[in-house]
Structure 1
């Protein structure tokens, strides 16, 4: 048994909270480490990382193979989504629009407008270029009209920037669009004065902000970034009833000597809300449970998706707080591909011919409708793009008041295949052997590829398991992690039917999945952090329902980390070592 001592990073946040309390101020919410999780893949036909159909089934329902981005806004009771370059019926350079009536995140299904052939109808704005990389970044509904900000005038691979953003309007619920005016524009390739190429929009009542906004009544707040992933966020404001009048735009230009906001008619006067020249895609929204304006964007330093919050639209904004770190929060190797140029294989999924292309987490777009909880513990939901696979997922992170420091002790143990807690359909579909100093279970037994069966076990029902680590080799049979549900039957005669019922969620939700590379020599490293899940209701299963070539899997004995704390930081050191790898 390996007992280790560590100092949790949440301890610093706890000390900071005490300092705020002593001063009589309310501290900004922080990320509760280990809580970020993928809820579902929103686009594509099949979630290839879990081998289950997506709820939206976009290939069969809209001829969409994959896409990215996914900023959203409310319109006439519907949640509307704007997606970027969309692979499918129209090649890869057109952009798509979808909506959903889902009241909750688990029911989120996308509906795309389609033509008579079942192909998605792309967003079309006459008069502007809409090629690859030229995409919609944010939208808002005012009255019966939709308004979106669309980036255009791609400046080329050398610059890798959009040169202009356009405000466009739809009067028929997104079916047709017309350009209204340029929101922000480069000057001969110079973007130093263009601060709103990417934009996030939200409507608010000016009366709620003590006269700090430049216009009375309902106004639209516009947070923006300029040079792509090389700029800091800015803020603009325009009356809702005059959103089609560019001359009504006012730009936050900093604070005066009394601490009151100053506003300017000139975009060049726009002041940075925070000094962080990494911002490209961004979202901002009022999150009611924490009563804060909340901003998300992807960052290279600190690495990951970061959050800033403010009690007022102009700030002061809190320091950057990472709410999703691709190594620490089970991204890489679970739904984000790890390049095979890394000697240690981490997954067996990637887009065609992109085995050496790193995934990257970007485009975190908040969905305020789904936020719930309170100031102590609030769950925020956002779309997130992964690049490889080229899809959009729905993600969730928990934020709120700093939690008490967790106890420092963790314990390692082994889920031995020989113990009585494993339940199995039979004893003859697998064998156990020593290899490389480890015990391995393989479903390549007496009947070889034709062997079929399942074995599974609950993880500790006290919720103490925080991580699993093991290796898989071989073929396409699977190891899975399931959340919730009941016992998996061991008297099933038809393994394929049992496999299908597991994937349908009849015995819990499949939240993690691993299989081999059709290679008995190269292991795939599997690391599953369990803190985002209901740890008292998790089970691990190995199932072989295949009888075709490579219809088996080998699994090493599973190493389990246990701890009594709800928010462990077990993977912090490993994440730091891996932090330079991957893409954003």
Structure 2
């Protein structure tokens, strides 16, 4: 017996108090309407009504049914969206409706919801919202779509009901870590006359995740909030990452009992450079030095938090086992014509033809309590002091980036010669990882990126950022670091996942690896979990004295780890594998740590 799938509503049909129950049920390859007359005292049997789809249709997933406010008489129309398989094997989402004011109650074939290149991967969810220009609110749909590399995204579509002859509009991406269908409502939260959209969706790692969209600004991101507790944890590495040294700040308070003077931090940056605290610390080599790019920086003589301008330091060290000596440049890295206040930070950089090329994020904003990064830009400098704005990189999937230059032939990349490889993420801590490449010789010119668009044996490349597909299926990536490790013969990706300061978090610092930049990427392991640092060098209230207030009481504020940036030139082989080194931020204290972990070899 074929499985039966059902969508159920209560309509306004009925002679007494209770409206009928209405259902759309997939039976075989067709979608049928059933109803129960609730005006009968015995409530009666369920009655099979008419077939919704046509003989030419092949239904492959459940339909979704609503009753809309379209009506001439007493009853609003029934509206259905259902996935149909086409002759070429792809699957579309099709709209059908029943004119409930026609005495024959016909089901009418409406327009296609999804686009010609879309391939539907499961059931959709349909609502009628309060967006309207005329008398009817828009129809809104969320539907899973299969991408070129087999991953699944959840996408929003809508129909402007002020003109029903208009096609459905492809709206924003919700999730590219999708593993099933979504549930969709319009809530009472929000402003400017429109409640927010709320979605719950199945994601990878057995997660169920809540997203919301603030509807006073249509172009705003969907925001990832809570991940339900059934999330599968990443397995922990047997040998965990450990702290070598605290690189920034004046004092390292790990192990301090709260009396007397704590131990000094490795670089005593407050007394030497006026740097009280900072975060991040991605790095690249340039003219024989390793340059470190730090984020929002709290300086002596400024109120804290202050203007939050960033900082750059360099090192000439050749090993990292006893820490890294830093010399900070005397002024912040300022780029003309872009905002550089809090949460606008340098992301990563490369050295090319005697100049440094640095990616910055800018135009940060807030959506409620959630921080959103605006866009990424490229700037050039000869010395790390004076920067020239070159061009915008992305407002979409490459706002946070990790970048390096490698030879195309060594990594089977498109083009010839040195290539700028950019791994990116979009919504802050609410994104997957994407890949783009560009000839290094074209660094000064805008555009020119090719985006990985799917395929492993035969990778596909597109000049359209929209076509970029996710690499690792982690929907909560924030800061990331991806570097080629010759000793391991693999690309290593580190990123923070899930909420960094959540003691119950099953994320932490996550590592993936791949032989090619496009993958296939490993499922992930955790070299450092939040509980590896809390109560030691990350503040755990009432347990340690590592908090730093800078004039603010932060004793009740939990520490958390983020920003794991590899320093690839320090990696070295060991008896058991390869020792890698990375910087990591601790939030409370607001400082950057030098970390190390042994990666077992060979990679499996």
TM-score band (shorter)? 0.5 to 0.7
* Paired position in structure 2 for 1:361: 561
Alignment partner of 1:113 out of 322, 326, 329: 329
- The answer as to whether partners of 2:488 and 2:602 remain within 8 angstroms in 1 is no
Q: Output aligned runs, 1:239-258, within 5 Å.
A: 239-255=439-455
Q: Distance in 2 between matches of 1:305 and 1:61?
A: 31
- Does residue 182 of structure 2 align to residue 182 of structure 1? no
* Paired position in structure 2 for 1:517: none
Shift of 1:36: 1.5
Alignment partner of 1:201 out of 374, 387, 403: 403
Larger Rg: 2
Structure 1 stretches of 5 or more lacking a match?
Answer: 1-29, 115-120, 186-193, 340-344, 405-584
* Paired position in structure 1 for 2:276: 65
Q: Distance in 2 between matches of 1:374 and 1:179?
A: 42
- Does residue 283 of structure 2 align to residue 48 of structure 1? no
SS in 2 for 1:255: coil
Q: Distance in 2 between matches of 1:247 and 1:133?
A: 25
- The answer as to whether partners of 2:423 and 2:482 remain within 8 angstroms in 1 is yes
SS in 1 for 2:295: strand
* Paired position in structure 2 for 1:125: 335
Q: Distance in 1 between matches of 2:477 and 2:575?
A: 27
SS in 2 for 1:246: coil
- The answer as to whether partners of 1:97 and 1:123 remain within 8 angstroms in 2 is yes
Deviations 1:180-214 (A, max 9, x none): 111002xxxxxxxx0000000111111113xx322
- Does residue 456 of structure 2 align to residue 227 of structure 1? no
Q: Distance in 2 between matches of 1:274 and 1:377?
A: 23
Alignment partner of 1:214 out of 395, 414, 433: 414
Alignment partner of 1:149 out of 359, 362, 365: 359
Q: Distance in 1 between matches of 2:470 and 2:237?
A: 27
- The answer as to whether partners of 2:508 and 2:561 remain within 8 angstroms in 1 is yes
Structure 2 stretches of 5 or more lacking a match?
Answer: 1-234, 256-261, 499-504
Q: Distance in 1 between matches of 2:340 and 2:557?
A: 26
TM-score by structure 2 length?
A: 0.56
Shift of 1:226: 0.1
Q: Distance in 2 between matches of 1:311 and 1:222?
A: 16
* Paired position in structure 2 for 1:307: 511
- Does residue 483 of structure 2 align to residue 285 of structure 1? yes
Q: Distance in 1 between matches of 2:346 and 2:277?
A: 16
Shift of 1:52: 1.5
Shift of 1:403: 11
Q: Output aligned runs, 1:337-416, within 5 Å.
A: 337-339=539-541, 345-352=542-549, 353-373=553-573, 376-401=576-601
Q: Output aligned runs, 1:165-176, within 5 Å.
A: 165-171=376-382, 173-176=383-386
Q: Distance in 1 between matches of 2:299 and 2:562?
A: 21
Cα 1:296–1:403 change in 2 (3 A) is closer
- Does residue 291 of structure 2 align to residue 97 of structure 1? no
- The answer as to whether partners of 1:32 and 1:402 remain within 8 angstroms in 2 is no
Shift of 1:318: 0.6
* Count of equivalent residues: 349
Q: Output aligned runs, 1:562-577, within 5 Å.
A: none
> Per chain length, whose mean CA-contact separation is higher, i.e. which structure has more relative contact order (CA < 8 Å, sep 6+)?
1
Alignment partner of 1:317 out of 521, 527, 534: 521
Q: Which runs of 4+ in 1 moved over 6 A?
A: none
- The answer as to whether partners of 1:31 and 1:397 remain within 8 angstroms in 2 is no
Alignment partner of 1:160 out of 371, 385, 394: 371
* Paired position in structure 2 for 1:407: none
Q: Distance in 2 between matches of 1:289 and 1:95?
A: 33
TM-score by structure 1 length?
A: 0.58
Shift of 1:346: 2.0
Q: Distance in 2 between matches of 1:403 and 1:37?
A: 20
Cα 1:283–1:215 change in 2 (3 A) is same
SS in 1 for 2:471: coil
- The answer as to whether partners of 1:67 and 1:87 remain within 8 angstroms in 2 is yes
Q: Distance in 1 between matches of 2:563 and 2:447?
A: 30
Q: Distance in 2 between matches of 1:375 and 1:197?
A: 38
Cα 1:403–1:292 change in 2 (3 A) is closer
- The answer as to whether partners of 2:483 and 2:491 remain within 8 angstroms in 1 is yes
- The answer as to whether partners of 1:32 and 1:400 remain within 8 angstroms in 2 is no
* Paired position in structure 2 for 1:294: 492
Q: Distance in 2 between matches of 1:349 and 1:298?
A: 21
RMSD: 1.9
Q: Distance in 2 between matches of 1:387 and 1:157?
A: 21
- The answer as to whether partners of 1:290 and 1:400 remain within 8 angstroms in 2 is no
Q: Distance in 2 between matches of 1:76 and 1:152?
A: 27
- Does residue 536 of structure 2 align to residue 334 of structure 1? yes
SS in 2 for 1:283: strand
Shift of 1:379: 1.0
- The answer as to whether partners of 1:375 and 1:401 remain within 8 angstroms in 2 is no
Shift of 1:374: 5.1
Shift of 1:326: 2.1
Q: Distance in 1 between matches of 2:525 and 2:356?
A: 32
Shift of 1:350: 0.9
SS in 1 for 2:317: coil
**Greater share of helix residues, 1 or 2?**
1
Shift of 1:35: 3.4
Q: Distance in 2 between matches of 1:355 and 1:175?
A: 36
